[in-house]
């Protein structure tokens, strides 16, 4: 796994690319995502476009940093398919509440499978990628770099996946909120703004409490009732337990006698002379 995604849906998105792409090519693409070489990254019209700065390589006659244009698109659903999908989502509370909390429902695959669809990509047929670099392989390392950034963005915005499938996120939000279930959940999940009130002090204000009588000095210092007697602890069933855990031959012990036996005897003598010690 690439390490660019933390959520399960971001990792599934990345796994779809890693399933049919050369691992060595992906390994060369990851540094492009983490080194700031991906520029002008944007999602528009259901596709991701970006400019990727290539590397200077005199061996191939590249003496100036090249710039390559990349594009990543997913297979879009038809309007009728999206109509069925949104109706299905709007009728299930477990899906709506997760989406309104900006999370991808973990049962989304099963829900779409009932319609003969899958929201998360599963293989090569779901992708259409292009790059202006001279590499004949597709996806190339530049596309891979953009792809990893896209997977990381999905962690923060799962609605991006719907947009990549052809349904803009705002349209999905509106359609969900228009249904009775979606409207109810959207109202409950809408954050309520609390007015900010100025504080007169940085400290908790003191409050006066009335008392029936003033205690005398003895009661003030010792309390009105004596403290409960602490419970009596039973003696340890195994003498010198902590010592025994260190073994019978510590590095500092140079006597012929057993270290553990000596300490057990010492513990017993102390306990005999001080019965209250445990």
pLDDT along the chain (278 residues), means of 10: 72 84 80 85 90 81 86 91 87 84 87 90 88 85 89 88 88 78 68 78 83 79 79 64 68 77 82 64
Determine the pLDDT at residue 186: 63
pTM: 0.60
Determine the pLDDT at residue 1: 41
Count CA within 13 A, CB hemisphere, residue 162: 24
Determine the pLDDT at residue 132: 92
Q: Helix, strand or coil for residue 136?
A: coil
Structure tokens at 67: 């710039």
Check residue 45 and give left, alpha or beta (phi > 0: left; psi -120 to 50: alpha). Answer: left
Strand order in the sheet with 67-74: 38-44, 47-53, 67-74, 127-131
Contact 104, 161 (CB under 8 A): yes
State the CB neighbour count (10 A cutoff) for residue 253: 16
């Amino acid at each position: 796994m690439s390490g660019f995604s933390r959520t399960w849906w971001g990792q599934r998105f990345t796994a779809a690319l890693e399933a049919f792409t050369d691992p060595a090519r992906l390994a060369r693409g990851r540094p492009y995502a983490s080194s700031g070489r991906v520029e002008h990254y944007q999602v528009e019209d259901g596709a991701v476009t970006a400019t990727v700065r290539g590397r200077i390589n005199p061996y191939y006659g590249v003496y100036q940093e090249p710039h390559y244009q990349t594009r990543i698109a997913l297979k879009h659903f038809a309007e009728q398919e999206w109509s069925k999908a949104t109706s299905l989502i709007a009728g299930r509370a477990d899906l709506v509440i997760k989406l309104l909390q900006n999370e991808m429902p973990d049962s989304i695959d099963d829900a779409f499978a009932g319609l003969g669809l899958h929201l998360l990509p599963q293989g090569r047929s779901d992708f259409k990628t292009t790059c202006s670099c001279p590499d004949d392989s597709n996806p190339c390392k530049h596309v891979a770099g953009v792809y990893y950034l896209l997977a990381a963005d999905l962690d923060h915005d799962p609605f991006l996946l719907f947009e990549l499938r052809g349904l803009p996120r705002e349209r999905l939000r509106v359609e969900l909120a228009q249904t009775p279930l979606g409207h109810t959940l959207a109202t409950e999940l809408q954050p309520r703004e609390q007015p900010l009130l100025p504080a007169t002090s940085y400290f908790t204000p003191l409050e006066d409490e009335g008392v029936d009588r003033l205690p005398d000095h003895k009661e003030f210092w010792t309390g009105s009732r004596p403290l409960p007697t602490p419970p009596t602890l039973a003696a340890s069933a195994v003498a010198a337990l902590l010592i025994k855990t260190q073994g019978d031959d510590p590095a500092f012990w140079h006597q012929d006698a057993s270290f553990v036996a000596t300490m057990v005897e010492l513990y017993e003598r102390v306990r005999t002379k001080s019965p209250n010690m445990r």
